[in-house]
Amino acid sequence: GILRVAGATVTLVQGTVRRQATTGADGRAVLGTAGLALGPAELTITRLGFRPLFDTLDVVGPAWVAGTVVAIDHQSPTADRTR
């Protein structure tokens, strides 16, 4: 299943443009797209106690990013995976 994590830092970087937000209680973060060009942008999601997530997203329009991450879907390295 998906683990929704509050308090994670979500960073989107494309060239010199950098957007950053923190996930809310629902595990979501909203990043502005102003200044982003069409094409790839690097996504990083981090939170203490969790493995970081690194991915590339495609900016496909002025307000749309293909492959938007809604929640961190990786588990804490100390989580009990038998349940």
Q: What is the pLDDT of residues 30-74, one digit of tens each?
A: 888 788 888 999 999 999 888 888 998 888 776 655 454 444 444
Predicted pLDDT at 8: 92
Predicted pLDDT at 63: 60
pLDDT at 80 over 70: no
pLDDT at 78 over 70: no
Pair of tokens at residue 35 = 């200044």
Residue 58 near residue 36, CB atoms below 8 Å:
no
- Residue 14 pairs in a beta bridge with 17
Strands (E), 1-83: 9-14, 17-22, 39-46, 53-61, 64-66
